[in-house]
Structure 1
Amino acid sequence: MKKKSIVIIVGLAVLIGAGAWYLGRDDKPADGAAAAGKGAAGTNGGAQPPAIVNVVAPQRQDVPVVLQANASVTPVSTVDLHPQTTSTIRKVHIKEGQFVKAGDMMFSLDDRGERANIDKARAQMARDAATAADLERQYKRSQELFAQKFIAQSAVDTLRSQLDAARALVGAGQAALQAEQVNASYSSIRAPMAGRVGAINVFPGSLVQLATSLTTITQLDPINIAFSLPEAALGELLAAQKNGAVVVDATSGPNAKAVSGKLSFIDNTVDPLAGSIKVKALFDNKDASLWPGQYVTARVTVQTIRNAVVIPQAAIISNTRGTFVYVMDADQSARPVPVARLHAFGLNAAVSGLNGDEKVITEGKQNLRPGARVKLADNAQPKRDAKATVAAQ
């Protein structure tokens, strides 16, 4: 029993001694680290290192304010030709896809019946004219006889009324002749305007009626493009239109050459469901680069901001305090400057609030605070924004 107690006591003593040695060993490095920390704090004085940033010099340039929309090409006018009488096609004077001028002969219908009616009306008018001439001679003779008191006044009056009726018949005959000539003119179908002929649906010998579509004529020069813009742009459109012609550019593809026209129409109502306003632009189309039904991209230049200050959009910060940018002052500190975005285009934006000679911070601004120390990145110099020199697309 005594031996067992002695062994336990000796073991406890060994453990206590080892623990005391270990604790004494750890205290020394800790004290050394604390001393080193104090020395380092004394050297830096507790100051934060300057933030590494990149800056850009603002550009001054004219910035066009452009509204873009998808548009479709629509003809100024298009005509679907129908006959105005029932007849058969005698001759087709045109070909599909042909360009015609106003008044060009397009179709000839069988007009034999109309020509016969014209001859009949002329003969009727000649007969009525002869009757009227005979009555006029009788009336003059009756006046002479009445003066010599050979006939009564009633006889003269009767001839007078007969003469008036005959003259009326001559007038009716003239009107009937004109009506037959109008009916005969329907047998010659001419182009009502200049344009391009579409598909021809009839051939010589075809029976045509009022509902028969012969072909279509579409005017290609000039030509319209129609598109819609947000109702928020209505004020800018109306203001631009008051200041003169509003330029509209249209492109049919990424590699296609842009063509320029002028705004010609602003609808009188805003679509309340879509929140948009319909507009049209008129284009010269002598080379037929625009085709009816074609989809194009329209760009409307509503104004040009002259000598605007242009900076990268990446430099602009928006939060609950407003919209601003950080600029680097001469003492290498960051200063916030409130700005207003006038127009954004591509990677850049025209803004107000800057003089144009500042060094605007573009990178490293996320951790900045007003008055914070900043430092340019290695080998970084204030650079001008190369993209700002490109006009708005």
Structure 2
Amino acid sequence: MAPTRTNTPTLKTITIVASALFLSACGEKAAPPAPPPAPVAVITVQPTSAPMSFEMVGETAGYRDVEVRSRVNGILLKRTYIEGQSVSAGQVLFEIDPEPYKAALDQAKGGLSIEIAKLEKARADRDRIIPLFKENAVSRKDYDDAMSAHAAAVASHQAAEAKVREAQLNLGYTKVVAPISGMTSTVAQSEGSLVSTAGDSGKLTTISQLDPLYVTFSYSEEDRQRMESLEKSKKITLNDQRNLKARIQLADGSFYEETGKLDFSDNRVDPKTGTIRARAIFSNPKAQLLPGQFVRLHLDFGKANNAILIPERAIVQSQADKLVMTVDKDNKVSPRTVKVGRTQSDGMVRVESGLQQGDIVIVEGIMKAKPGSTVKPVQANASQASQVQATK
């Protein structure tokens, strides 16, 4: 009887194949689910009438900045005020050695006394000779000599008086007084220095009148032309240029309590910078502002008519173009090239072209809004904006 054949090799083969299939199935990764649309904060464009308040960088300057200089030469003996404090007009600030000028005054007075004596003699000679000349008791030459001597004595007397006045002035100039009321700066010359009327050695200090106070700034020729063009097209309404209101924002972000106004705008363009100089004036009764401070100046130019305003943060710079990300009806992101004006002081930008009423613009979550991607738009109110920020 022939031996029975077993199925062991067949079962072994099946087991190997099954194990391979099982291991192969375990090695495959399931495809990840598609990410949900990213939430973004959006605004719907609506034309509106809005105030135009532009922000400029300005520098404060004293209403009057006067250099206090020596008007005579000499040794600086004394300073009579404290640097950095306010002084009044006419207050003595410095004293220069007066002794040489006292001597010069005494000398001038002595010369005047001599000329007075000469004048009195010449006058007496003239008074004696006039009646004698009328009686033909003296010659015409003697008469003319007496009259000439008297005239010369009068002139010499006047010159001597002038020298006395000059010496008195120079002696008075040894006390250097404040020409205006204001705040003093540092002393340029110390006691014991030789000061003179020429060059930098004659400069002693500077006084700045702080009330009122100027804020100087510049704006571009392009800005001026754009404003004029928009006004002609009735897109904006400008306030009276002679009474433009201005406010100052300080370095800590707070606003100065006083409101100022535009005081001056130059009638020419600086050819080196292409800008126009301008100035605003502010009351500064408490001397809270000092010359040389850099501040942010907010000017209220007027209002924009039917303007499209969007937050500055919604604008993306792409090489030479400015873009905004819009959302279409299918919630897909579409970039839009826009032309914008100057940023206002409230952070809003006026869009001159590229957007129209009803467009939906992304203002938060722009980094997640890639062109062509689908997003979840939410209106940019306070709660929804915070929701978008939380998902970043």
Place the TM-score, normalised by the shorter chain, in its bin. 0.5 to 0.7
Residue 374 of structure 1 is matched in structure 2 by none
Structure 2 length as normaliser, TM-score? 0.62
Structure 2 equivalent of residue 68 of structure 1: 56
Per-residue CA deviation, residues 156-202 of structure 1 (Å, 9 max, x unaligned), is 22111111111111111112112212222220101112221222355
1:150 aligns with 2:137: yes
Contact kept, 8 Å, 2:242 with 2:262, in 1: the verdict is no
- The reply to whether residue 218 of structure 1 matches residue 208 of structure 2 is yes
Find the residue that maps to 2:269 and give its secondary structure. strand
Deviation at 1:276, TM superposition (A): 2.8
User: Against the structure 1 CA distance between its residues 351 and 144, is the aligned structure 2 distance closer, same or farther, given a 3 Å change threshold?
Assistant: same
* Deviations, residues 308-360 of structure 1 (Å, cap 9, x unaligned): 6767897xxxxxxxx9x9999xxxxxxxxxx998887567666899xxxx877
The code of the aligned residue for 1:228 comes to: S
The 5-angstrom pairing of residues 84-233 of structure 1 reads 84-202=71-189, 204=191, 206-210=192-196, 211-233=201-223
Tell me which residue corresponds to 1:31. Answer: none
Q: Distance in 2 between matches of 1:277 and 1:290?
A: 24
The verdict on how the C-alpha distance between 1:183 and 1:350 changes in structure 2, with shifts beyond 3 A counting, is closer
Displacement of 1:129:
2.1
In structure 2, C-alpha distance between the alignment counterparts of 1:215 and 1:55, rounded to whole Å: 57
Q: Which runs of 5+ in 1 are unaligned?
A: 1-53, 315-322, 329-338, 368-376, 387-393
User: 1:237-291 CA distances to partner (integer Å, 9 max, x unpaired)?
Assistant: 7886864222222212253223532223333433455443332222222222322
Query: 1:247 touches 1:262 (CA, 8 Å); kept in 2?
Result: yes
Query: Which residue identity is paired with 1:278?
Result: R
Give the one of 247, 250, 266 matched to 2:248.
250
Q: Deviations over 1:187-229 (max 9, x none)?
A: 010111222122235555x132221543222222222222222
Quote the Cα distance in structure 2 between the aligned partners of 1:73 and 1:202.
Answer: 26
Number of equivalences: 309
Q: CA–CA distance in 2 between the matches of 1:227 and 1:351?
A: 25
Partner amino acid, structure 2, of 1:244? R
Which range moves more in the overlay, 185-194 or 195-204? 195-204
- Residue 224 of structure 1 aligns to which amino acid in structure 2? Y
Q: Name the amino acid aligned to 1:75.
A: G
Q: TM-score scaled by structure 1?
A: 0.62
Q: Deviations over 1:47-101 (max 9, x none)?
A: xxxxxxx9859485542242433x2223333333332333223332211112012
What residue in structure 2 maps to residue 295 of structure 1?
Answer: 294
Q: Of the two, which has the highest radius of gyration? A: 1
**Whole-angstrom distance in 2 between the partners of 1:308 and 1:241:** 17
Rounded to whole Å, the distance in 2 between the matches of 1:260 and 1:193 is: 25
Give SS of 2:243's match: coil
CA distance in 2, matches of 1:348, 1:341: 10
Identity of aligned residues (%): 24
Deviation, structure 1 residue 135: 1.9
